[in-house]
Structure 1
Amino acid sequence: MNVALQYCNVTVNDPDESLPFYRDGLGLEVVNDVSSGGHRWVTLGSDAQPGLGIVLSDPHAGRSQADGDALQELLVKGALGPIVFATADLDGAFERIRAAGAEVLQEPIDQPWGPRDCAFRDPSGNTVRISQTA
């Protein structure tokens, strides 16, 4: 069996507020933008990985009020799991994202467990790590 990741969801407070970070900072392109019931699902992709998408949506999009409220609490606390990207040009990506105004959590460093990486916080408080590829 061959399995590949097609897309993953990233919960954000406001897709419009988060677009500059993911589109301009990370260099992803908007592939789809769907609105329904006062919510939006914005799918971003990259030529580097055709077919793989990152879907930005608010905590209540497609969820019950109670589930959305619980997710919103975790988002506000910064308690959702990190999102990890990889690039061949870590230093260039770091500078581009920092120049876009992202909150820097960690400048590029060699980690004792192996990878060279850096970390940011997106506008909603999600931790975004970027690792250097070989």
Structure 2
Amino acid sequence: MITKMNHVSIFVLNQDSAYDFYVNKLGFKVHTDAAMGPGMRWLTVCPPGQPELEITLMAIDEGMMFKGEAAAQMRDLVKKGTFGFGVFECDDLKATYEELKAKGVEFKKPPTKEFYGYEALFLDDSGNWFSLGERSKTTS
């Protein structure tokens, strides 16, 4: 029986730039940054409140995973914002939105009230887009 997921991948155009974005702008922690053979790098980061989930910042390079034109096609999909997607949570969306905007994070949608809580949409430095949400507070 599967009990949990511990790694998920986000395809990035440049691992150095992605490192800077996820660590210095979003505030994630580096879990692993190691060489994996010639020209390959295993780079994982974790949200500060979820160290058991490693997000692999996976370079889109021709090689083991991508053959022939597949790497160029994948890079194009990521650049266009048509491939990557994820949902992150925070405790105070308005404050987090202002903090990330001040660090240069590009938002496609400001904090907006939705049926499930508040949400803003942002892009990483590769073109992947993410929802940033604050759950509605329930009363007891």
> Is the alpha carbon distance of 1:55 and 1:13 closer, same or farther for their aligned partners in structure 2, counting shifts above 3 Å?
same
Taking structure 2 as the reference length, the TM-score comes to 0.83
> Is the alpha carbon distance of 1:78 and 1:47 closer, same or farther for their aligned partners in structure 2, counting shifts above 3 Å?
closer
Partner AA of 1:92 in structure 2: A
Q: CA–CA distance in 2 between the matches of 1:27 and 1:130?
A: 14
Q: CA–CA distance in 1 between the matches of 2:64 and 2:56?
A: 13
Between the two proteins, what is the percent identity of the paired residues?
A: 27
- Residue in structure 2 matching 1:98, options 93, 98, 101: 101
8 A Cα contact 2:42 2:58, kept in partner:
yes
**Moved >3 Å (runs of 4+):** none
Residue ranges of structure 1 left out of the alignment (5+ in a row): none
Residue of structure 2 equivalent to 1:45:
46
Q: CA–CA distance in 2 between the matches of 1:12 and 1:45?
A: 16
1:2-17 aligned at under 5 Å gives the runs: 3-17=3-17
Residue of structure 1 equivalent to 2:129:
127
Residue ranges of structure 2 left out of the alignment (5+ in a row): none
Q: CA–CA distance in 1 between the matches of 2:12 and 2:91?
A: 27
Cα deviation 1:75-112 (Å, max 9, x = unaligned):
1221113121111121222122111111111111112x
Query: Per-residue deviation at 1:124?
Result: 0.7
1:1-134 aligned at under 5 Å gives the runs: 1=1, 3-35=3-35, 36-60=37-61, 62-66=64-68, 67-111=70-114, 113-133=115-135, 134=137
Matched residues, number: 133
Q: Please, what is the CA RMSD of the aligned residues?
A: 1.9
Q: CA–CA distance in 2 between the matches of 1:37 and 1:115?
A: 46
8 A Cα contact 1:25 1:100, kept in partner:
yes
Query: Per-residue deviation at 1:43?
Result: 0.5
Partner AA of 1:9 in structure 2: S
